[in-house]
Structure 1
Amino acid sequence: MNAPTQLIFLPGASGDPAFWQPMANALTYEAEHQFLAYPGFGAEPADPDVENFEDLVRRLVQRIDRPTALIAQSMGGVLALRAALAKPALVTHLVLAVTSGGLDMQALGASDWRESFGKENPHLPDWFLTLREDLTGELPYIQQPVMLLWGDEDPISPLSVGEKLLELLPNSELDLVNGGGHDLANAHARVLAPLVDEFLQQA
């Protein structure tokens, strides 16, 4: 596996790429940083070429033109996994923080955040909130090293989800943040950055 020369950071359902800025600032691994913004989310203007999740997957895949590590928050992790399946030769590493990973979240004890989040953010496109992506059968085919970042106080993506992904992804590790919630990659960026740096140097 090649060393990544590009890091692409993927936000969660808020679509706010600034979520990853503290982590990006704390990383010492030398690579170009790109922050994917979701058209129509937050300050990012809408784009007629991105009207659903499949369009967003296609946009991300188009950016992967060299060895790339994908660093994703929450629902951005589903996007990262789809891209890894689409471009296995160029996606070198995956860092997935409190993601659903395309699993049945309700069966794993997760609280349903979508309705309340949609009411609090009525200006956001609804296609990310209504996404139901089942990647269970495809996860064993992902051969890239995967770092799973989880907290033990996250009702949206509880530890049971991370443990299930650890079981399904053949080349994965699970790093637990005691007291970590759904914002752990942002709130604990300085603590996690050295672990991510070390992970990105693994072949």
Structure 2
Amino acid sequence: MKTVRLLFLAGAAGDPTFWQPVANLLPASYRCTLQAYPEFAGQPKVASVHSFATLSDWVIDHISQPTIIVAQSMGGIIAIQAALRKPNYVQGLVLVATSGGLDTSALGAADWREDYLLNLAHLPTWFVEAQYDLSPDLAHVKQPVLLLWGDADPISPLAIGHALQQQLPHAHLHMIPQGQHDFAYQHAPQVAQHIRAFIESL
């Protein structure tokens, strides 16, 4: 039996326990890593990590075995970079309610950054300051991609999922009814079922 390694990336809140309900519902044989970020969720600083770019580098540098990345929101930008930089290790992507490095304002997305600065003022501002345009690179993502989107998410509306499906060569989109931005946490059984089916199809 081949080993299945899953690397779960949180969004801008940086709390790896966001993914715990999903991980708990996956087969015990899956090796799940809920990635913690330096300076988030009580984690200590790492000298080399001081921006979203260096956080991305730090996460990607730690990928040294065949891995499927499951990423929420801003974590999806790290996941896409990992797929591009380490195609021999990244076997597939599960992207959940992410911008994917697209211009989300053109796709009807609400701006989340002001609320983030007000409600999470104790956290580093790396995610708020990050500005990425990965659209020229998406066609080079050769791995299979599962896109999971909620139909009631103002931050990453379904239009973004459709746009990513068009630009990623091997992507399939599934919609979670009544899914808000945190639907992976609130609807963990559905999300876990989709992830397991995706893995079994690889």
Q: CA RMSD in A?
A: 1.2
The alpha-carbon deviation at position 29 of structure 1 amounts to 6.8
Q: Contact (CA 8 Å) 1:5, 1:66: kept in 2 or not?
A: no
Task: Indicate how the Cα distance of structure 1 residues 200 and 155 shifts in structure 2: closer, same or farther if over 3 A, else same.
Answer: same
C-alpha distance in 2, partners of 1:139/1:168? 6
C-alpha distance in 2, partners of 1:110/1:24? 28
Question: Kindly, what percent of the aligned residue pairs are identical?
Answer: 45
Q: Contact (CA 8 Å) 1:29, 1:197: kept in 2 or not?
A: no
The alpha-carbon deviation at position 54 of structure 1 amounts to 2.0
Instruction: Report Cα offsets for 1:144-182 as digits up to 9, x if no partner.
Output: 010111011000000000000000001000010110000
The corresponding residue for 2:59 is 60
C-alpha distance in 2, partners of 1:16/1:49? 20
Alignment of 1:40 with 2:39, yes or no, is yes
The corresponding residue for 1:28 is 27
TM value normalised by structure 1: 0.95
C-alpha distance in 2, partners of 1:121/1:192? 26
C-alpha distance in 2, partners of 1:31/1:151? 25
Task: Indicate how the Cα distance of structure 1 residues 4 and 93 shifts in structure 2: closer, same or farther if over 3 A, else same.
Answer: farther
C-alpha distance in 1, partners of 2:159/2:3? 29
Q: Secondary structure at the match of 1:138?
A: helix
Q: Secondary structure at the match of 1:190?
A: helix
The corresponding residue for 1:187 is 186
Higher relative contact order (CA 8 A, sep 6+): 1
Q: Contact (CA 8 Å) 1:4, 1:200: kept in 2 or not?
A: no
The alpha-carbon deviation at position 117 of structure 1 amounts to 1.1
The corresponding residue for 2:98 is 99
The alpha-carbon deviation at position 124 of structure 1 amounts to 0.8
Amino acid at match of 2:178: G
C-alpha distance in 2, partners of 1:35/1:172? 23
The corresponding residue for 2:111 is 112
The number of residue pairs the alignment matches comes to 201
Task: Indicate how the Cα distance of structure 1 residues 29 and 108 shifts in structure 2: closer, same or farther if over 3 A, else same.
Answer: farther
The alpha-carbon deviation at position 52 of structure 1 amounts to 1.1
Instruction: Report Cα offsets for 1:65-124 as digits up to 9, x if no partner.
Output: 111000000000001001111101110010011001000010111000101111111111
Q: Secondary structure at the match of 1:96?
A: strand
Unaligned runs of 5+ in 2: none
The corresponding residue for 2:176 is 177
Unaligned runs of 5+ in 1: none
Q: Secondary structure at the match of 2:195?
A: helix
Q: Secondary structure at the match of 1:85?
A: helix
C-alpha distance in 2, partners of 1:67/1:126? 31
The corresponding residue for 2:85 is 86
Task: Indicate how the Cα distance of structure 1 residues 29 and 20 shifts in structure 2: closer, same or farther if over 3 A, else same.
Answer: same
Structure number with higher helix proportion: 2
